Amino acid sequence: MARYLLIVDFQSGPDESPMSEWTDDEVAAHLNYYGRLNAELIANGELVGGEVLTGPDLAKVVRSDGVTPVITDGPFQEFKEWIAGYQIVDVESEERALEIAGLVSAVPGRGGVPTQQPIQVRRIMDDGPSGVEEMNAYLETASNPR
Amino acid sequence: MQEALIAAARHWSADGAPAQPRGWLLQTATRRMVDQWRSDTARREREIRVASEPETGTAAEVDDTLTVLFLCCHPVLSPTSAIALTLRAVGGLTTAEIARAFLVPESTMAQRISRAKQRVAGERFSMPSPEERPDRRRSVLRVLYLMFNEGYVGSTGDDLTRVDLSDEAIRLARHVHAADDDPEVVGLLALMLLTDARRPARTDESGTPVTLADQDRSLWDHARIAEGTALLDGAIGRGAVGEYQLQAAIAAIHDSATTADATDWPQILALYELLERMTASPVVALNRAVAAAMVHGPAAGLAVLDGVDGTLPRVDQLKAHLHELAGAHDLALTHYRRAAGRATNVAERRYLDAQVARLAGGSA
Nearest CA in chain A to B158: A127
A62 forms bridges with which residues in the sheet? Answer: A71
Contact A129 B111 (CB under 8 A): no
Question: What pLDDT digit, counting tens, does each position of A78-112 carry?
Answer: 989 999 999 999 998 899 999 999 999 999 999 99
Residues in chain B with CB shorter than 8 Å from the CB of A145 are: 321, 324-325
First vs last C-alpha separation in chain B? 50
Task: Flag whether residue B317 sits within 8 Å of chain A, measured between CB atoms.
Answer: yes
The residue type of B126 is S
Task: Flag whether residue A2 sits within 8 Å of chain B, measured between CB atoms.
Answer: yes
The answer on pLDDT for B154 being more than 80 is no
Task: Flag whether residue B171 sits within 8 Å of chain A, measured between CB atoms.
Answer: no
Task: Flag whether residue A47 sits within 8 Å of chain B, measured between CB atoms.
Answer: yes
Mean pLDDT of B104-126: 89
Contact A135 B209 (CB under 8 A): yes
Question: In whole angstroms, what is the distance from residue A90 CA to residue A124 CA?
Answer: 10
- Rg of chain B over Cα atoms, rounded to whole angstroms, equals 22
What's the pLDDT band for B128 if we cut at 50, 70, 90? confident
Q: Which domains does chain B have, with CATH numbers?
A: 183-263 (no CATH), 276-364 (1.25.40)
Size of interface A-B (CB pairs under 8 A): 138
Question: What pLDDT digit, counting tens, does each position of A1-18 carry?
Answer: 789 999 999 999 999 998
The residue type of B70 is F
The answer on pLDDT for B1 being more than 80 is no
Contact B344 A125 (CB under 8 A): yes
Asked if B240 and B263 touch (Cβ cutoff 8 Å), the reply is no
Nearest CA in chain A to B157: A127
DSSP state, B274?
Answer: H
Question: In whole angstroms, what is the distance from residue B146 CA to residue B222 CA?
Answer: 24
Task: Flag whether residue B329 sits within 8 Å of chain A, measured between CB atoms.
Answer: no
Query: Chain A window 87-106: which residues touch B at a Cβ cutoff of 8 Å?
Result: 90, 92
Asked if A88 and A3 touch (Cβ cutoff 8 Å), the reply is yes
Of A49, A134, A145, the CB nearest to B324: A145
Positive or negative torsion for Cα B261, B266, B267, B268: positive
B254 vs A135, B109, B225, B326, B332, CA distance in Å? 14, 37, 10, 24, 27
Task: Flag whether residue A130 sits within 8 Å of chain B, measured between CB atoms.
Answer: yes
The answer on pLDDT for A126 being more than 80 is no
Instruction: Give the residue from B162, B158, B161, B235 showing the smallest Cα distance to B199.
Output: B158
Task: Flag whether residue A138 sits within 8 Å of chain B, measured between CB atoms.
Answer: yes
Of B102, B284, B325, the CB nearest to A133: B284
B39 vs B4, B44, B53, B68, CA distance in Å? 36, 9, 21, 19
Distance of CA B212 to the CA centre of its chain: 17
First vs last C-alpha separation in chain A? 34
Distance of CA A62 to the CA centre of its chain: 23
- The alpha-carbon gap from A21 to the nearest alpha carbon of chain B, in Å, equals 36
The answer on pLDDT for B39 being more than 80 is no
Query: Chain A window 50-89: which residues touch B at a Cβ cutoff of 8 Å?
Result: none
Q: How many CA atoms lie within 13 A of B201 on its CB side?
A: 17
- The alpha-carbon gap from B23 to the nearest alpha carbon of chain A, in Å, equals 30
Which carries the bigger pLDDT value, residue B55 or residue B290? Answer: B290
Of A3, A127, A141, the CB nearest to B157: A127
Mean pLDDT of A17-36: 93
Asked if A29 and A108 touch (Cβ cutoff 8 Å), the reply is yes
